[in-house]
Amino acid sequence: MPSDARLLLLDRDEVQSLLLPDDVLEAVREAFVLHSHGEGRVFPVVREPLVTGGVFGIKSGDVQAQGLLGFKAAGFWPDNRRLGGAPHQATIMLIDPATGRPVCLLDGNAVTTMRTGAAGGLGLQQLARADSTSACVFGTGVQARVQLSFALRLLPALVEVRYATVDGQRDAAFEAQFAHRCDILPARDRNAAVSESDIVITATPGAGALFDTQAVQPGTHLNCVGADTKGKRELPEGLLERVRLFVDDQAQARQIGETQWAADMPCIELGDLLTGKARADRHPTDITVFDMTGLALQDLTVARLLHQRAGAAGVGSSIPWAW
C-alpha cells in the first residue's frame, strides 16, 4: 500500500488568516445551491448530550461530482468558559472519497462562526424587507457578532441596532466593535426593541423564549441561530404559526431547529430561493423566519477553499500519513 501520503493540518490561527468574508459568502452560497440541486448530500446529524454536561455532534456530507467528502465533529461544552476556553468546539476533516484517506484536518471553530454568519447574511438578502433600517440582536457572543457583521455588510440601509444580553447589562466591547458602523445601544425592554425593529437576530444558547409573541410586528424578519439541538428554542410559543417559514434543510430543521416546535408547518429551503426553484414573494406585512441549523455542506465548501488556499500559500503543517 502507498506510504508517501501526507495529511495537512491547519490550526486556529492559520484558519483565521485564510478566511475572508466575501470568499466564505460565495462558498456558503455554493453549498446552498448544491443542496437545492441535489448535487450535495447532507447525511443524518448526530447530536447527543454527554454526561460531562456537553453536547457532541457530527455533521457530514459529500458532493460526489466534485470529489468532496468530509465531516465536522463539534458541540457545546459550557464549562469551557470556567476553564478560559470557548464553549463551542469544532474540528473538520476532508477525506478523499476514492480511498477514504484523510487529506486535511482543520480547526472548525472559526469556520463554523463565519459560515453561519454568511448563511445569515444570505437569509437577510433574500427575506428581509429591502427598506429595513433597524435590528434587534439577542446575544453579544461570537455568533451574535458575526451575524451582525454580515448584516451590516450586506444591508447598507441598516443603521440602528439594539441588543439584549442575558443579564440585561451593557456590553461595552460589543458596542465598540460596531459603533463606527451603526447607532448601537442596549435594549431597555426586549419586547419594545423587537416591536420597533425590522430585523430580529437571535444568537443565544437557545435556553428558552426570548420575547413575547405579540412583540413581533407585521413586516419583521427573524434570523434564528440558537436552536440546534432537540429541546432548544429562542422563539415564543405560537409565533411560528404566524410566519412564513424558511430553513436551510427541512429534515434537519424539524429535528433540531426552531421548526421542531411546529414540525407540520410548511417551509421553504433557502437554497431553493437562490436557485429559483421557489420564490419568497414577500408582502410588506409578512413575518418571515429563517431557521438556521447549519449545513454540513457549508463546512465542506469552506474547508475545501481553505485547503486549496493553504496549499497555494504554503500554510499549515504537512505530516506523513501512511495508508
CA 162/CA 298 separation, integer angstroms:
29
Residue range(s) of every CATH 3.30.1780.10 domain in the chain: 6-111+297-320
Q: What is the CATH number of domain 117-294?
A: 3.40.50.720
What class is the 6-111+297-320 domain?
Answer: alpha beta
> What local confidence, expressed as pLDDT, does residue 2 receive?
63
- Spatial separation of the C-alpha atoms in residues 197 and 135, rounded to whole Å: 5
The model's pLDDT over 196-231, given as tens digits with 9 standing for 90+, comes to 999 999 999 999 999 999 999 999 999 999 999 999
What is the b/e burial string over 237-276, where b = at least 16 CB atoms within 10 angstroms of the residue's CB? eebbeebbbbbbbbebbbbbbbbbbbeebebbbbbbbbee
Q: Where in the chain is the domain with CATH 3.40.50.720?
A: 117-294
Q: What is the rounded CA–CA span in Å between residue 274 and residue 285?
A: 22
Cα 122 from Cα 30, distance rounded (Å): 11
Average pLDDT, the chain: 96
- Say if residues 150 and 297 touch (Cβ distance below 8 Å): no
**234-246 residue pLDDT tens:** 999 999 999 999 9
Residues 6 or more apart in contact with residue 280 via CB below 8 angstroms: 126, 127, 244, 246, 268, 273, 288
Mean of the pLDDT values across residues 18-40?
Answer: 97
Q: What is the pLDDT of residue 47?
A: 93
Give the pTM: 0.95
CA dist list (Å): 134 to 163, 207, 306: 11, 25, 34
pLDDT tens across 75-130, in order? 999 999 899 998 999 999 999 999 999 999 999 999 999 999 999 999 999 999 99
Q: What is the pLDDT of residues 181-198, one digit of tens each?
A: 999 999 999 999 999 999
pLDDT in tens, 297-321: 999 999 999 999 999 999 999 999 9
